[in-house]
Structures are given as structure tokens and as C-alpha cells.
A = this chain, B = another copy of it.
Amino acid sequence: MELFDLDALTRDAAASGTPAIPLVQMLTARAGVAARGFVHWGATSQDVIDTALVLQMWDGLDLLERALRQVAGRCAVMADRHRRTLMAGRTLLQHAVPITFGLKAARWLALTTRLIVRLREVRPRALVVQFGGAAGTLAVLGQNGQRVMHELARALGLGVPDLPWHAERDRVAEVAARLGIVAGAMAKVATDIVLLSQTEVGEVSTHEPGAARSSAMPHKRNPAEATNAIAAARLALSVVPALMAGLVQEHERAAGAWQVEWDALPRLFGHTASAVHWVHHALAGMEIDAARMQANLDASCGLIMSEALMTALAPALGRDEAYRLVQHLASQATTQRRPLADVAAADARVRASLSIETMARAFDLSGYLGSTEVFIARALEGYHALPAMETR
């Protein structure tokens, strides 16, 4: 862009309501004699700007996919390495049943893999040239419109759309939505990290040694990367509705809704990329404290195995009765701060229903993981099945 006077371009763009007018003038001034008469021939401002936008989206999608693959790579390592690292599964932020940290990482991985697939999928539909002339008829070009459009698309490496899309912005809205999904997914991962980093949980830490994280409290180990990711993701998500609302454009070209894209779309790419960047950074420097995970499991008196105990009791008592009995035992364990296993062992109905071995199995966390390893394997497969990135 150093070929052009950007200050003049900006000033004149505001005056005429579009950067294309001054740009065409500058380009004409630079063109050779033979070409000069044909600069912008048959095109309209929006053809120029939209096609430039598509080329930028191409690069942006490349950058995002590359960054997401880095995130996925990190998750894959953790999913593999921590297949059997026990931790509390938490629902509504309460201990539910045991999972492994590998499964959590595998869910992040499968999510990220799906994000990559979605970004790849949208390319053929979205990365198409815009070329319609003043009102989408290519009138200036007479019978040559189609040929010129195909040549232009070929020269730029873009696809050819069914029709010009000056005022039908479903392609833009679709790209925006997919980026919003990327951003939101990154915020999900980052939120998990922030929650796992809490002082009382302490299962992961993204603190870089020596880095100041608080201006007032020397001990603070703030999850700064995950926090940045959440902020960036929220900013990205806030842009999406403006681009979805941009579907509503008047007649052949719009007064306002289209112009929103000039600011909104670059920002959406920027914020989304920032969210992915910070999640990658958080994962890359993350320490995982398996001992603390175990300690947190131990601290809740075995309550996390209440479902397992109920399941063991159900054949003898029926599911409903078993539920009520275990609810009662769990409440006792909580009040008396005793292990659920002990409270259960002291209960006559439990003793009448379960053998000692069955009891023991009901409190064996690593034996209560069901399909955990299958799911981890599936997430890894999905990731490894991703086709390699194309180079342009």
C-alpha cells in the first residue's frame, strides 16, 4: 500500500463515502497509457472493496487455521499424556463423577478440530470474487461480462459466485458466525483454565515464573493469558450481530449496512485471532498438578462416588430407593465430615445389598471411567484425520 498516499485516501474516502473513488483515481494516475482508459472498467466501488475483503478473509482464514492447529496440537499432547490422570468432573461447578484430565483436554481437542473443519468448509462458498458493476448486471461489459468475471477470478485465485452479491451478504454473515463460534469456543477453554486456576482449586497454573501479575500483591498468580483470551473472545462475539444484521441491505446496494463491514470484519478477525493466540499461550505454559487433582477428589469425602454407589445398590433396592438411600448417606457424610464409604459400610441396608468386593468397586475411582479412554482415542483420531493445510 506504500504505493498510495494513505492520508489522502482516508480523507477523500470520508468525503465520497467510499475509499474506492480516490483509489481508482490514484491507480489511474499510476497506470500506463494503454491501461489507463480501462482502470475500473465495468466495475463499481463495491466490486473493488468486496473483492479486496475476500482476499483478506483468505489470509485471515489461513492465519486462524494455523493458530487453531497449534491449540489442537497442545490439547492432543495433554489428552494423550493425561488419559488416566484422575480429576473431578464438575457440573454446575459441583463435583459430579470422576473424569480424567485427558478427557477434558480431549473435549477441547474435539471442539478445536470441529472449528478447523468449519473454517475449511466455508472457504469455497465464501472466497469468491465480487464483480457486478453498478447494479449487478455488468452492463458496461455487454456480452463479455461472464468472460471478464471468470478471468478476474482466475487471476486472483478466487471462486466465481452464482450471482454478484452486493446486497446479499449471507457469505459474510456465515464467515462472521464461524469466527464467532471459534471465539466462543476459545472462551470456553479459557474459562475452564481460569476456574481450574482458582486458589481453592489449583489444578492448573499458567503463571510464568518471575512475571509480575499484580501491581499490589506480590503473591498473585493471575491467569493473565486466559483472561486476555476471554476478553478477546467477548469482543469478537460482540461484532458478530452487527454483521448478521448486515444481511438486511436495501435494493441493489445498501446505505449503511454494507459500510459497517469495513470496520467490523477486520476487527472480528483480529479479536478472534487474539483469543486463539492467548489460549495457545495459556496452554503452552500450563502446569498441571495431578496431585492437587487427587487431593481435591479426596477432600470431598468420596461423595463424588454417590452415583456409583447408587448404581451398585439399584439391582437390590431399585433405582428410586437406591437414590433416596444414597442421598441420605451422602447428607450424613457431609454433616459428619466422614467418608461416604465409611457411612455406607455402617448402614445395614447397604451391608445387606452389597458384598465387600462390590462395595470396594463402588469406591474405585479409576474403575469408574466408563468410555473415557474411548472418547480420548476418538478425539485424537479426529485430530489426526485433519487434512494438511493447503498453501495458496
Contacts and interface: CB of A to CB of B under 8 A. Distances in A.
Interface in A74-132: 88-99, 103-104, 106-107, 110-111, 113-115, 118, 125
Interface residues of A, number: 168
B252 A96 contact: yes
A262 to B, nearest CB: 8
Interface in A294-315: 296, 299-300, 303-304, 306-308, 310-311, 314-315
A318 B36 CA distance: 8
A64 interface: no
Number of copies: 4
A13 to B, nearest CB: 10
Contacts of A349: none
Contacts of A90: 135, 198-199, 250-253
19 contacts: A16-B211, A21-B212, A25-B320, A37-B318, A44-B91, A44-B216, A99-B136, A103-B137, A106-B163, A107-B168, A110-B162, A114-B125, A115-B170, A140-B311, A167-B188, A227-B255, A227-B259, A230-B248, A231-B257
Interface stretch (A3-11, A54-62, A237-245, A350-358): A237-245
Interface in A131-150: 133-142, 145-146, 149
A137 B89 contact: yes
Given A89-B136, A137-B370, A174 B181 contact: yes
A107 B249 CA distance: 12
A250 B195 contact: yes
Contacts of A230: 248, 255-257, 259
B40 A218 contact: no
Given A118-B174, A173-B180, A370-B145, A231 B256 contact: yes
A246 B303 CA distance: 29
Contacts of A194: 92-93, 255-256
Interface string A307-336: 110110011001110011011011101100
A52 interface: no
Given A94-B221, A194-B256, A218-B330, 11 more contacts: A28-B319, A91-B252, A93-B199, A94-B199, A98-B139, A139-B370, A142-B370, A145-B370, A191-B250, A200-B296, A218-B327
A182 to B, nearest CB: 9
Interface string A249-274: 11111111101101110000000000
5 tightest Cβ-Cβ pairs between the two chains A and B: A89-B135, A184-B247, A230-B256, A17-B224, A177-B177
Nearest to A135: B89
Given A188-B247, A247-B185, A370-B141, A37 B319 contact: yes
A227 B177 CA distance: 25
